[in-house]
Structure 1
């Protein structure tokens, strides 16, 4: 499924359930939000997004624990989960969707290019997945978008369904 197909599906799922969503992005630098908003009607469900490319902005904007980042870096499941919960809260959305990782070419926080964590906060504990994606920097970023949109649908349908 391409990003646009995934965005269309997410918007349909959110609309059917009367929900809204927000994003917090690192390695994709706004590509998730941009992909969602290519779909007509997205304004009825998409609240907005945070681009927290710099590590300190994950704390300042999304509320990720600064001590956690200092001790563990930003490429991990806990950071992704906190980013998802943070954007959900800051943007007053029902669903928070986040991604953090290494698009490459160089490693970060001891992780190789293609290591990505995606998270969706809806009800209860956030759903988090670790991905190991291959390809170019752009392929990693696009793959992250597709998988995060899919996880957003899965999270809502898993709770509602």
Structure 2
């Protein structure tokens, strides 16, 4: 398991920059990275797009895509990551969208989360179905999971 500090050090070693586009995590990923001394060398920034319209305004997610797939979807997570990476000119962008609960949203159960990591070459989409976690536990867990996934991608490239 990678820590936020491990990720910051890895990014420094690889001269890689990171940004984020967060919905259900509401800035927790960016805040977690920013809590590490030296994060300013790699963390370009992030968008918090909690409202659906903010995904369109800030991250340029297409309205038709949202109307077709919903905001709790891999398609939305992918476009959030791709577009925000381009807007911020970062090497990597991590996106987070989903349903932290307690009720279903867009016919998707509580705990259904989609994330994506965009690099210059590719976008990888992740789907998680968390069970039995309170909403803030879920938010912390998905941030940790994506720190691990981003570190794995950076190490491979």
Please list the CA deviations of residues 40-70 of structure 1 after superposition, one character each: whole Å capped at 9, or x if unmatched. 0000000000000011111111111111101
The equivalent residue for 1:24 is: 21
TM-score scaled by structure 1? 0.92
Aligned equivalents of 1:8, 1:133: Cα separation in 2: 25
Give 2:32's match in structure 1, choosing from 18, 23, 35. 35
Which residues in structure 2 correspond to 1:1-161 (within 5 Å)?
1=1, 6-134=3-131, 135-158=133-156, 160=157
Q: Is the 8 A contact 1:122 1:156 kept in 2?
A: no
What secondary structure sits across from 1:99 in the alignment?
strand
Q: Which runs of 5+ in 1 are unaligned?
A: none
Counting matched residue pairs gives 156
Give structure 1 regions of 4+ aligned residues with deviation exceeding 6 angstroms.
none
TM-score scaled by structure 2? 0.95
Aligned equivalents of 2:73, 2:122: Cα separation in 1: 16
Q: Is the 8 A contact 2:69 2:75 kept in 1?
A: no
Shift of 1:155: 1.6
Q: Which runs of 5+ in 2 are unaligned?
A: none
Aligned equivalents of 2:54, 2:146: Cα separation in 1: 21
Shift of 1:91: 1.4
What secondary structure sits across from 2:126 in the alignment?
strand
RMSD: 1.1
